[in-house]
Amino acid sequence: MRPVSVRDSMDADIDAITRIYGHWVEHGLASFELTPPDADEMRRRRAAVLSGGYPHIVAAGEHGSVLGYAYAGPYRERAAYRFACEDSVYVAPSAARRGIGRSLLQALIARAEARGLRLMVAIIGDSGNEPSIGLHKALGFESAGVLPAIGWKHGRWVDTVLMVRALGAGPSAPPVERPIRPQEEDSTH
């Protein structure tokens, strides 16, 4: 296997990120979006993740080519959820089954722990998505349930699998408090 490095994403990575995500929107069930967003929208989403203090990373191969990307974001916006995050991991189809997803998720977990987060939630599209379910399970996630037939995509009903992983001290001790951003307090979730 060729060397892969995981690093913070950069604006220059947006076109590759847009292509990777667009493929899975059009051909997979990991995302429940129906139309792939354009590069401007993906740039806006990355900026929102970063402005919230969450990690947004890429796996780069030889010559710097982006083979996958991952990010954490708020699980929900209400203030009491501020120590939980949701992960998202997408790998280029040409780079599948090479350990890229594992490298990305391991790095994402470490960065979320360093930020003081205490729980990571995986919301996996399709109960038949064994690669994603297996990856999360291998990295310490546990099943938290299934939302049956919650989405309609590619002509069929699709489940959502919920998995969770404690971060850092998890629920064994109170968290180190971080400031509440006004948008967390005012959210409607």
Q: Report pLDDT digits (tens) over 151-168.
A: 999 999 999 999 999 999
Please give the average per-residue pLDDT across 125-141, as a whole number.
97
pLDDT at 180: 58
**For 39-95, how does the pLDDT look when each residue is reduced to its tens digit (9 = 90+)?**
999 999 999 999 999 999 999 998 889 999 999 999 999 999 999 999 999 999 999
Average pLDDT, the chain: 93
Distance CA 45, CA 66 (A): 18
Asked if the model's pLDDT at residue 123 lies above 90, the reply is yes
pLDDT at 2: 64
Asked if the model's pLDDT at residue 187 lies above 70, the reply is no
Confidence of residue 186 (pLDDT cuts 50, 70, 90): very low
- What topology does CATH give the domain 5-174? Aminopeptidase (3.40.630)
CA 14 to chain centre: 16
- 3, two tokens: 């060397």
181: nearest Cα among 79, 81, 112:
79
* Domain locations along the chain: 5-174
Residues 6+ apart with CB under 8 A from 94: 67
Please give the average per-residue pLDDT across 133-161, as a whole number.
98
Please give the average per-residue pLDDT across 124-129, as a whole number.
96
Task: Look at 46 and 182; give whichever has higher pLDDT.
Answer: 46
117: nearest Cα among 182, 166, 48:
166
Asked if the model's pLDDT at residue 124 lies above 60, the reply is yes
pLDDT > 90: percent of the chain:
87
113, β-bridge pairs:
none
pLDDT at 185: 47
